[in-house]
Amino acid sequence: MILNLTVLPGDGIGPEVTEQAVQVLQAVADRFGHQLQLQHKLIGGAALTAVNDPLPEDTVKACLSSSAVLLGAVGSPMFDKNPGHLRPEAGLLRIRRELGAYANLRPAVFFPALEGSSPLRAELVRGTDIMIVRELLGGAYFGQPRSIEGDPGSRVAVNTMRYAEHEVERIARVAFDLAMKRKKKVLSVDKANVLECSRLWRDVVTRIGKDYPDVKLGHQYVDSAAMLLVQRPTDFDVVLTENMFGDILSDQAGGVVGSLGLLASASVGGKVGLYEPVHGSAPDIAGKGIANPLGAILSAAMLLRHSFSLGKEAAAVEQAVSRVLSQGARTADLAAKAQSPIGTAEMGRRVVEAVK
Ligand code: IPM
Ligand code: MG
């Protein structure tokens, strides 16, 4: 099979971690007889620096003409003072929209080898296997109007949280379909005691749930869900939630399983799937060669599974990650006090070896 990908390294640690993910994809392609075809394009701060646009037209075209997109991270403090549309993040939001990627799947799985890396006691976190299904194209991230106006000292800012029924319906179906292949549990997370958007959300999710009588549906307010996530992470199976709540809870889930650096994601539902680690650009450690590439590598595994239906290949990557972790490989974010950490490239190399 020809694996025709656009790679968007982006900013901060993005280029370092995607480089390792590409090496792993190459190793999988070699082992299973596929052919990797890559084109690298600019996004985020890297694109702003080059052409003053966080998502150049050329990048959009390349993504739309490939079979899947692998992204590193976007965001850089260099652009903190820029207006919204000239920030790196605007490029990420636009590519998600251009690709129609409304369903963001963020698995948070506990690796037994990492008992020492979670801040939680091993008996609490052992067995955690959560799939966060985050709505990605709606809510406050995209709602209009949005603005910041007025003179310093008396400025007023506005964002709009907005959801249409069909947007809730389609993401709910993704969550229920996934639950059918898992433990058949969906927890829908909202703030229906305060927000109209959430009351609509709960209403629609409940209606769609009737089409899935085998799935146990629960509802939880986001504040209480955040607490339960650290108290009883193993109770969770599929978590269905809107854009911003999903953003927050997925970082928290990363902390629960040991490090945000491990979390992968797939943004699907549109023409072309977009795969990116959940961690951001981490400007504080960029360029030091110490970032954890496993989130990017596991995102590449999701790419193989979701965009190419290459389940065996995806599993080979996931098993390789599991193996290097049980052999004691730890980047700085995972290393316990007594362990000496390895760098980004060395972690990538070990996964490549384990894939071969
Ligand atoms: C994420 C990130 C992005 C988001 C930022 C970089 C715009 O935090 O993918 O979780 O909020 O969606
Ligand atoms: Mg986030």
Q: How far is the CA of 44 from the centre of ligand 2 (A)?
A: 15
Is residue 292 a contact partner of residue 344, using CB atoms and an 8 Å limit? yes
Taking the chain (356 residues) in consecutive chunks of 10 residues, what is each chunk's mean pLDDT? Answer: 98 98 98 98 98 98 98 97 96 98 97 90 96 98 97 98 98 98 98 98 98 98 98 98 98 94 97 97 97 98 98 98 96 90 98 97
Per the listing, tokens 């995209």 go with 142
Provide residues with CB under 6 Å of ligand 1. 74-75, 89, 92, 247, 278, 280
User: What residues contact 215, with CB distance under 8 A and at least 6 apart?
Assistant: 176, 179, 180, 184, 185, 186, 209
Ligand 2 ion: Cβ-proximal residues, 5 Å cutoff: 247
Whether the predicted model's global pTM rises above the 0.85 cut: yes
pLDDT value for 336: 84
Which-ligand-closest: CA of 73?
A: 1
**Separation CA 168–CA 282 (nearest Å):** 32
